[in-house]
Structure 1
Amino acid sequence: MTRTSLITGASSGLGAEYARRLARRGDRLVLVARDRERLADLAAQLERAGAPEVEVLAADLAAANGVGSVCARLTAPARPVDLLVNSAGFGLPLDFERNDIEDEARHLRLHVEVPMRLMHAALPGMLERRSGMILNIASASAVMPRSTYGAVKSWQVQFSRWASGAYRGRGVTVTAVCPGYTHTDFHARLGLPRGEEGISDWLWLEAPRVVEESLRDAERGKAVSVPSKRYKAIWTVSQLAPSGVMARLAARGR
């Protein structure tokens, strides 16, 4: 049976990579992002590649009406969504005291309130059908003291772990995906061209691998997916090391 997948942040980064992978799988897609033109371009590419159906939903998730339009799509009874990928997000400099507080508030809303609202909209239908999957794209930063970015990603992981235990027995899996540094345009949007992020080459992952491993982990019902052996090791060490040590390590790169 053909599944329908809704992906936020679909116009770039890991969101776009999930769209490409799920299109190859044969899913119907609902692509969500602010930029309608970029979404339309991606939709055309996916349709040429054989995606059975691609729906474009332009919405600013930092605004209440944008979140409302996506919630309305998630709750449409005649067009059920089988997979929700919460991938929308952005980064800020680590100097919290220098950042604009309204940017920080928007950052908090997009990484915490928005996925919470979208999950709350999607879950009733999934539970009624006893079938569904939710991926929250978090980060390896969730176990590292890394300004407000690590904090919001930690919330995504902890809530996903709870939701996984609460809903797995009722047919719905919830997985927090925690990649490390991944080659996408995420850092370029922070004004950091590739190669100038201050990160060693061995720490970088490729987006297709992250997506492939996370989808496999989600199918297995894992509450947390940490792609690659190197980041699994970092994840384990990060939970055991003193917070001061991890804060110094996490301050490297941008």
Structure 2
Amino acid sequence: MPATPDPVATGRTDPLAVVTGATAGIGAAFARRLARDGYDLVLVARDATRLDGFATELSERHGRSVETLPADLSTEDGCAAVERRLTGGRPVDLLVNNAGIALTRSFLRTTVEDEARLLRLNVSSVMRLTHAVLPTMTERRAGAVINVSSVAGFGALEAGSTYSATKAWVTNFSESVGQAARPYGVRVMALCPGFTRTEFHQRAGINTSSMPGWIWLDADAVIDDGLRDLRKGRLVSVPDWKYKLAVVALRHTPQRLLHRLTRSTKVLVGRGGR
């Protein structure tokens, strides 16, 4: 087993990781890092062609077993397919719940269907897949779950956006479930990056051209920090000092002042690049 990251220490020669939203952004960076560190992989994403190409790349470059599971986690069938994989067959050592979306319109202008899809993908799938994998992990007394959240979940800084509400849920959920799983030797952690250079923002239609360079994080550095915090047993990981400071400010600034600031300035705290 690789010395790094070795977040679960199962004692098996070849640990297995499942990564959702695996063909782009933080999910793809996780898959590359874990393959390099000796993990076999199950990659989950909607685009089967892109998924197969990425799996071939990882397998040829790192000599790992890479399984693909095309699934749309915003649908019942897609989520159920991944649940079946998590509960049947070879036990999973690490689950990375990374799949997620953002809406570019205010709640006042979105449809119920759009909002329901956001909740199914950002919230319900995280809950269901975590719930599916934990019984085997707690029985084996080994395993870990990383739920990719966002610094945006620490405050309602974008009027009308429900993305931050979904990430607040993911962070709170992970922290709570992590406390319950810890006595069984299982770790559950929320990874809360700020703005990370990936294609997430372009795919979501978010204009980032006016954002200063210093605000961006590197996806590989985000994963380094996250895996380091997982090894330390932390329940919530906020990569990079500038976003740690932002979280402190969000938690301690009076809400009335915070809302006034967001109305008068463009406050940036980040949507994790998935």
> Is the aligned partner of 1:184 residue 2:192?
no
- Of the three residues 55, 75, 87, the one matched with 1:75 is 87
1:168 is aligned to: 182
Q: Deviation string for 1:149-203 (max 9, x for gaps)? A: 111100011111111111111011000000000000001102346x52x322211
Q: Deviation string for 1:91-139 (max 9, x for gaps)? A: 1125110112211110011111111000110000001100010000000
2:101 is aligned to: 90
TM-score w.r.t. length of structure 2: 0.88
CA contact (8 A) 1:61 1:110 kept: yes
1:107 is aligned to: 118
CA contact (8 A) 2:75 2:120 kept: no
Q: What code does the residue aligned with 1:56 have?
A: T
Q: What code does the residue aligned with 1:230 have?
A: K
How many positions carry a matched residue from both structures?
A: 251
Q: SS of the counterpart of 1:17?
A: helix
Q: What code does the residue aligned with 2:168 have?
A: S
CA contact (8 A) 1:27 1:51 kept: no
Counterparts in 2 of 1:251 and 1:243: CA distance versus 1, 3 Å: farther
Q: In structure 2, how many angstroms separate the alpha carbons of the residues matched to 1:252 and 1:230?
A: 14
Q: Deviation string for 1:28-56 (max 9, x for gaps)? A: 00000110011111111111211411000
1:7 is aligned to: 19
* 1:191-206 aligned within 5 A: 191-192=205-206, 195-196=208-209, 198-206=210-218
2:33 is aligned to: 21
Q: What code does the residue aligned with 2:52 have?
A: A
Structure 1 gap ranges (5+):
none
- Of the three residues 123, 131, 146, the one matched with 2:142 is 131
> What is the Cα deviation at residue 251 of structure 1?
5.4
2:228 is aligned to: 216
Q: In structure 2, how many angstroms separate the alpha carbons of the residues matched to 1:101 and 1:74?
A: 30
Q: In structure 1, how many angstroms separate the alpha carbons of the residues matched to 2:63 and 2:168?
A: 34
Counterparts in 2 of 1:22 and 1:51: CA distance versus 1, 3 Å: farther
Q: In structure 2, how many angstroms separate the alpha carbons of the residues matched to 1:181 and 1:244?
A: 25
Tell me the C-alpha RMSD between the 2 structures. 1.6
Q: In structure 1, how many angstroms separate the alpha carbons of the residues matched to 2:130 and 2:63?
A: 25
Q: What code does the residue aligned with 2:109 have?
A: R
Structure 2 gap ranges (5+):
1-12
Structure with the bigger RCO (C-alpha within 8 Å, sep 6+) is 2
Counterparts in 2 of 1:94 and 1:132: CA distance versus 1, 3 Å: same
CA contact (8 A) 2:104 2:205 kept: no
Moved more, 215-224 or 90-99: 90-99
Moved more, 94-103 or 200-209: 94-103
> What is the Cα deviation at residue 252 of structure 1?
4.3
CA contact (8 A) 2:123 2:166 kept: yes
* 1:28-47 aligned within 5 A: 28-47=40-59
TM-score w.r.t. length of structure 1: 0.94
CA contact (8 A) 1:8 1:85 kept: yes
> Is the aligned partner of 1:122 residue 2:136?
no
Q: In structure 2, how many angstroms separate the alpha carbons of the residues matched to 1:135 and 1:81?
A: 13
Q: In structure 1, how many angstroms separate the alpha carbons of the residues matched to 2:214 and 2:155?
A: 19
Q: What code does the residue aligned with 2:187 have?
A: T
